[in-house]
Protein backbone atom coordinates (compact mmCIF):
# COMPACT_ATOMS: atom_id res chain seq x y z
CA UNK A 1 0.00 0.00 0.00
CA UNK A 2 1.25 3.45 -0.90
CA UNK A 3 0.11 6.95 -0.01
CA UNK A 4 1.62 9.21 -2.63
CA UNK A 5 5.30 8.26 -2.65
CA UNK A 6 5.21 6.75 0.85
CA UNK A 7 5.42 2.95 0.95
CA UNK A 8 3.30 1.98 3.94
CA UNK A 9 3.36 -1.81 3.64
CA UNK A 10 2.73 -4.66 1.28
CA UNK A 11 -0.87 -5.81 1.12
CA UNK A 12 -3.35 -4.57 3.67
CA UNK A 13 -2.35 -1.93 6.22
CA UNK A 14 -3.08 -2.05 9.93
CA UNK A 15 -4.04 1.54 10.70
CA UNK A 16 -4.89 3.36 13.90
CA UNK A 17 -7.80 5.72 13.31
CA UNK A 18 -7.67 9.19 14.85
CA UNK A 19 -9.66 9.36 18.08
CA UNK A 20 -9.93 12.66 19.95
CA UNK A 21 -8.66 12.34 23.48
CA UNK A 22 -7.10 8.92 22.90
CA UNK A 23 -4.56 8.85 20.09
CA UNK A 24 -1.91 11.08 21.61
CA UNK A 25 1.77 10.71 20.70
CA UNK A 26 2.56 8.20 23.48
CA UNK A 27 -0.40 5.98 22.59
CA UNK A 28 0.49 6.07 18.89
CA UNK A 29 4.07 5.14 19.73
CA UNK A 30 2.89 2.10 21.73
CA UNK A 31 0.63 1.01 18.87
CA UNK A 32 3.42 1.50 16.29
CA UNK A 33 5.81 -0.59 18.38
CA UNK A 34 3.18 -3.33 18.38
CA UNK A 35 2.95 -3.47 14.60
CA UNK A 36 0.61 -0.77 13.27
CA UNK A 37 1.57 0.30 9.78
CA UNK A 38 -0.17 3.67 9.71
CA UNK A 39 -1.05 6.14 12.46
CA UNK A 40 -3.00 9.40 12.59
CA UNK A 41 -2.77 12.29 15.01
CA UNK A 42 -5.87 13.41 16.80
CA UNK A 43 -8.04 15.80 14.82
CA UNK A 44 -6.46 19.26 15.04
CA UNK A 45 -7.84 22.62 14.00
CA UNK A 46 -5.89 24.11 11.10
CA UNK A 47 -7.39 27.46 12.07
CA UNK A 48 -6.02 27.23 15.63
CA UNK A 49 -2.63 26.09 14.37
CA UNK A 50 -2.39 28.86 11.79
CA UNK A 51 -3.46 31.65 14.13
CA UNK A 52 -2.06 30.72 17.52
CA UNK A 53 1.53 29.62 17.15
CA UNK A 54 1.86 29.37 20.94
CA UNK A 55 -1.30 27.30 21.49
CA UNK A 56 0.32 24.41 23.38
CA UNK A 57 -2.83 22.29 23.57
CA UNK A 58 -3.32 22.23 19.79
CA UNK A 59 0.42 21.80 19.12
CA UNK A 60 0.51 18.85 21.54
CA UNK A 61 -2.24 17.11 19.53
CA UNK A 62 0.00 16.95 16.47
CA UNK A 63 3.20 15.85 18.21
CA UNK A 64 4.66 12.88 16.39
CA UNK A 65 7.03 10.24 17.72
CA UNK A 66 9.67 8.72 15.51
CA UNK A 67 7.92 5.34 15.38
CA UNK A 68 5.56 4.41 12.59
CA UNK A 69 4.21 6.31 9.63
CA UNK A 70 2.05 9.11 10.98
CA UNK A 71 -0.28 11.55 9.27
CA UNK A 72 -1.40 14.80 10.85
CA UNK A 73 -5.15 15.09 10.54
CA UNK A 74 -6.51 18.63 10.17
CA UNK A 75 -9.94 20.19 9.96
CA UNK A 76 -11.09 23.66 8.95
CA UNK A 77 -13.49 25.38 6.61
CA UNK A 78 -11.06 28.18 5.78
CA UNK A 79 -8.85 27.72 2.68
CA UNK A 80 -6.40 30.39 3.85
CA UNK A 81 -5.87 28.59 7.16
CA UNK A 82 -5.35 25.17 5.60
CA UNK A 83 -2.96 26.69 3.05
CA UNK A 84 -0.93 28.44 5.73
CA UNK A 85 -0.60 25.43 8.02
CA UNK A 86 -0.11 22.96 5.14
CA UNK A 87 2.80 25.06 3.88
CA UNK A 88 4.33 25.23 7.35
CA UNK A 89 3.85 21.53 8.13
CA UNK A 90 5.05 20.44 4.68
CA UNK A 91 8.28 22.28 5.24
CA UNK A 92 8.69 20.70 8.66
CA UNK A 93 7.96 17.25 7.24
CA UNK A 94 10.51 17.71 4.42
CA UNK A 95 13.27 18.87 6.78
CA UNK A 96 12.51 16.17 9.35
CA UNK A 97 11.63 18.75 12.00
CA UNK A 98 8.22 17.10 12.19
CA UNK A 99 8.11 13.30 12.40
CA UNK A 100 4.88 13.07 10.39
CA UNK A 101 4.99 11.81 6.82
CA UNK A 102 1.82 13.37 5.42
CA UNK A 103 -1.11 15.70 6.07
CA UNK A 104 -4.69 14.41 6.08
CA UNK A 105 -7.72 16.68 5.70
CA UNK A 106 -10.69 15.38 7.66
CA UNK A 107 -13.87 15.13 5.62
CA UNK A 108 -15.72 12.58 7.72
CA UNK A 109 -16.11 13.89 11.26
CA UNK A 110 -19.76 14.48 12.20
CA UNK A 111 -18.98 15.91 15.67
CA UNK A 112 -21.12 19.00 16.39
CA UNK A 113 -18.12 21.18 17.30
CA UNK A 114 -16.50 20.38 13.94
CA UNK A 115 -19.52 20.71 11.65
CA UNK A 116 -20.68 23.84 13.47
CA UNK A 117 -17.52 25.43 12.03
CA UNK A 118 -18.36 24.23 8.52
CA UNK A 119 -15.66 21.54 8.58
CA UNK A 120 -15.52 17.74 8.66
CA UNK A 121 -18.36 15.83 7.04
CA UNK A 122 -20.42 18.96 6.32
CA UNK A 123 -17.91 19.87 3.60
CA UNK A 124 -19.15 16.91 1.54
CA UNK A 125 -22.39 18.77 0.81
CA UNK A 126 -20.52 21.83 -0.45
CA UNK A 127 -18.34 20.79 -3.41
CA UNK A 128 -17.17 24.34 -4.17
CA UNK A 129 -15.98 24.92 -0.59
CA UNK A 130 -14.33 21.52 -0.60
CA UNK A 131 -12.57 22.26 -3.89
CA UNK A 132 -11.26 25.57 -2.54
CA UNK A 133 -10.04 23.96 0.68
CA UNK A 134 -8.26 21.04 -0.97
CA UNK A 135 -6.89 23.35 -3.68
CA UNK A 136 -5.34 25.63 -1.08
CA UNK A 137 -3.72 22.69 0.71
CA UNK A 138 -2.36 21.15 -2.50
CA UNK A 139 -1.05 24.52 -3.72
CA UNK A 140 0.80 24.99 -0.40
CATH fold for domain 13-139: TIM Barrel (3.20.20)
b (16+ CB within 10 A) / e for 4-35: eeeebeeeeeebbebeeeebebeebbebbeee
Q: What is the pTM of this model?
A: 0.84
Q: What does the pLDDT look like over 61-89, one tens digit per residue?
A: 677 766 678 889 999 999 999 999 999 88
Per-residue pLDDT at 136: 96
Q: Which residues are catalytic?
A: 109
All structural domains of the chain with their residue ranges: 13-139
How far is 84 from 95, CA to CA, in rounded Å? 17
Query: Mean per-residue pLDDT for 116-139?
Result: 94
Question: Other CB atoms closer than 10 Å to residue 70's CB: what's the count?
Answer: 28
Amino acid sequence: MKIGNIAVCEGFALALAPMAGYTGAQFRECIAMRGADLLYSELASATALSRRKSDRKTRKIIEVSQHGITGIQLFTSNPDDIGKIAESLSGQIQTGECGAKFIDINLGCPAPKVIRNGAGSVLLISPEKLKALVGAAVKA
